[in-house]
């Protein structure tokens, strides 16, 4: 291989591959228009798994640094610095009290059961490839049954395409639809950072879709739009749900506009006060593309996701998946299929649902005790805490809040153009069980809302506290 890439040992392997490619582009070793070596060659030279290289390249394609051309390969699309926020090569030390959203509980990954599932997958490895571009037939069959049970999704195995995570799913979908002439997408604001990246990189016009207490403002969808990206079950990050009338309105819009709804069901299994509402996809499987992943149920590093697509999109999405990513590592797919088929994943989700429900209730009661209220429904892995009277630590330019050993995010991190009152987005699922309550104590102290001793008069301008904080678990 002519281009020499070197990994930074301080970085995780996938991130290291990304940074090695970026450095090669910055230094000119890979010029604009140059063809990247094959994933197999890169993996061999860097000493990593091919799947690691595929995932890293997939992210850089979604970012717009690289371009995948069907039957030709992957090419450098632009210079590394053009329109890209520089990424530090040395990661910051891990925080002592981590309340960043979007992560399952630290240490909760069912490693023993995953290892057993992987052993069974290896033992039963098919003699011939079990993947035609849509993913393992075994996994797609298990997913179809699981999604019907857990989320009410109407899916045949043939309508499912397995991807290497949510971003990969969106990238292949955006590419497939762009080739069919679509070009205008509405995306919720606020939303996950980078939720618009793949669409913009592929030439889509992006319109910010406002969100209020009833969910996405579906009345803002118009007939010029081809796609609407929604989080109906649990809006990220505000925490509400799309109400029944707006769910109906969204489907009616898709039918009138001959458009598609992309349903991001990132944590739909985690509703605490009732059985989760069925996925929006059930209302019209030919107008709603369902996107799910294992990142919130198992681990963000697993990088396994799936699309449930209308029949007319199955072939284009399969083709785009092969062109952009080369597919998803088969053993990981088969291990997930084993985990679903054995019932282990549903038992794991039930355990985590109980734990996250306990945590949200603790956070809600602790916040109420100092006069703060959590908007949204009791669900998910994060909650918004509105700030009042200028209270709270300041965020850096990336919307990250650090106070002592505590780190969390400001709501501004998730907004693109629509202004919001100041608030924190707190990942109550993230800490280990031992660190959770100390993290909440530190959080309330950091926003200037530590509970007052019994009988003390609040300072001027501060509301009287609610009843005392709940006791710690086990006390």
Residues forming CATH 3.40.640.10 domain(s) in the chain: 111-344
Whole-number Cα distances in Å, 242 to 236, 285, 377, 406: 11, 18, 11, 32
Q: How many residues does the chain have?
A: 475
Residue 459: count of CB within 10 angstroms of its CB = 8
3-class secondary structure per residue, 301-348: CCCCEEEECCHHHHHHHHHHHHHHHCCCCHHHHHHHHHHHHCCHHHHH
Residue intervals of the chain classified under CATH 1.10.10.10 are: 13-76
How many Å apart are CA 256 and CA 82, to the nearest integer?
Answer: 38
With beta carbons less than 8 A apart as the criterion, state whether 297 and 104 touch.
Answer: yes
Q: 286-297 burial, b for 16+ CB within 10 Å, e for fewer?
A: ebbbbbbbbbbb
Cβ atoms 17, 52 nearer than 8 A = yes
CATH 1.20.58.110 fits 13-76, yes or no: no
Contact status, residue 67 vs residue 60, Cβ threshold 8 Å: no
Report how far Cα 69 is from the mean position of its chain's Cα atoms. 26
Q: What is the pLDDT along the chain (475 residues), one digit of tens a residue?
A: 455 677 877 677 877 888 888 888 887 778 888 888 888 888 888 888 887 888 788 778 877 788 887 667 888 886 555 444 444 445 556 678 999 999 999 999 999 999 999 999 999 887 776 667 789 999 999 999 999 999 999 999 999 999 989 999 999 999 999 999 999 999 999 999 889 999 999 999 999 999 999 999 999 999 999 999 999 999 999 999 999 999 999 999 999 999 999 999 999 999 999 888 899 999 999 999 999 999 999 999 888 999 999 999 999 999 888 887 777 889 999 999 999 999 999 999 999 999 999 999 999 999 998 889 999 999 999 999 998 766 677 888 889 999 878 999 999 999 998 888 899 999 999 999 999 999 999 998 888 754 433 333 333 333 323 333 434 333 3
Contact assessment for residue 325 and residue 373, using Cβ atoms and an 8 Å cutoff? no
Residue 345's contacts (CB-CB under 8 Å, 6 or more residues apart) are: 146, 297, 298, 336, 339
The pLDDT of residue 294 is 95
Least Cα distance to 333 among 290, 302, 311 occurs for 302
Q: What is the pTM of this model?
A: 0.75
- CATH, range 111-344: 3.40.640.10
Question: How many of the other CB atoms lie within 10 Å of CB of 417?
Answer: 9
């Amino acid at each position: 291989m002519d281009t020499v890439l070197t990994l930074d040992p301080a970085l995780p392997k996938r991130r290291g591959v990304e940074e090695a490619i970026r450095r090669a582009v910055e230094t000119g070793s890979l010029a604009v228009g140059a063809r990247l070596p094959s994933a197999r060659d890169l993996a061999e030279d860097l000493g990593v798994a091919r799947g690691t290289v595929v995932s890293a390249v997939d992210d850089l394609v979604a970012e717009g640094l690289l371009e995948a051309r069907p039957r030709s390969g992957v090419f450098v699309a632009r210079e590394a610095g053009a329109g890209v926020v520089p990424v530090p090569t040395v990661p910051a030390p891990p925080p002592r009290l981590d309340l960043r959203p979007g992560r399952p509980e630290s240490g909760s990954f069912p490693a023993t059961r995953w290892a057993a599932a992987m052993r069974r997958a290896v033992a039963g490895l098919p003699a011939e490839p079990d993947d035609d571009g849509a993913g393992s037939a075994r996994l797609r069959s298990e997913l179809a049954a699981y999604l019907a049970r857990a989320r009410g999704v109407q899916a045949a195995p043939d309508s499912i395409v397995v991807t290497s995570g949510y971003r990969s799913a969106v990238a292949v979908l955006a590419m497939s639809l762009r080739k069919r002439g679509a070009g205008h997408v509405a995306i919720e604001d606020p939303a996950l950072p980078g939720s618009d990246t793949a669409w913009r990189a592929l030439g889509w016009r992006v319109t910010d879709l406002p969100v209020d207490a009833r969910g996405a403002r579906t009345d803002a969808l118009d007939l010029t739009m081809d796609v609407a990206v929604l989080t109906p079950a649990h809006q990220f990050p505000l925490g509400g749900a799309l109400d029944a009338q707006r769910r109906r309105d969204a489907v009616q819009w898709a039918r009138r506009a001959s458009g598609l709804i992309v349903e991001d069901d990132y944590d739909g299994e985690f509703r605490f006060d009732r059985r989760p509402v069925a996925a929006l996809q059930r209302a019209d499987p030919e107008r709603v593309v369902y996107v799910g992943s294992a990142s919130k149920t198992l681990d963000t590093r697993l990088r396994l996701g799936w699309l449930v697509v209308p029949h007319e999109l199955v072939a284009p999405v399969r083709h785009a998946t092969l062109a952009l990513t080369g597919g998803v590592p088969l053993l990981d797919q088969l291990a997930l299929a084993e985990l679903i088929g054995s019932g282990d994943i549903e038992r794991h989700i039930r355990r985590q649902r109980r734990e996250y429900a306990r945590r949200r209730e603790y956070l809600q009661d602790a916040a109420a005790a100092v006069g703060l209220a959590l908007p949204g429904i009791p669900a998910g892995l994060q909650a918004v805490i509105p700030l009042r009277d200028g209270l709270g630590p300041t965020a850096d330019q990336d919307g990250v809040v650090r106070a002592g050993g505590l780190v969390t995010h400001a709501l501004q991190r998730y907004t693109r153009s629509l202004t919001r009152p100041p608030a924190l987005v707190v990942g109550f699922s993230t800490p280990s069980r031992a660190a959770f309550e100390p993290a909440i104590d530190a959080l309330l102290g950091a926003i200037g809302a530590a509970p007052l001793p019994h009988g003390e008069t609040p300072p001027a301008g501060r509301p009287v506290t609610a009843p005392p904080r709940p006791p710690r678990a086990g006390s």
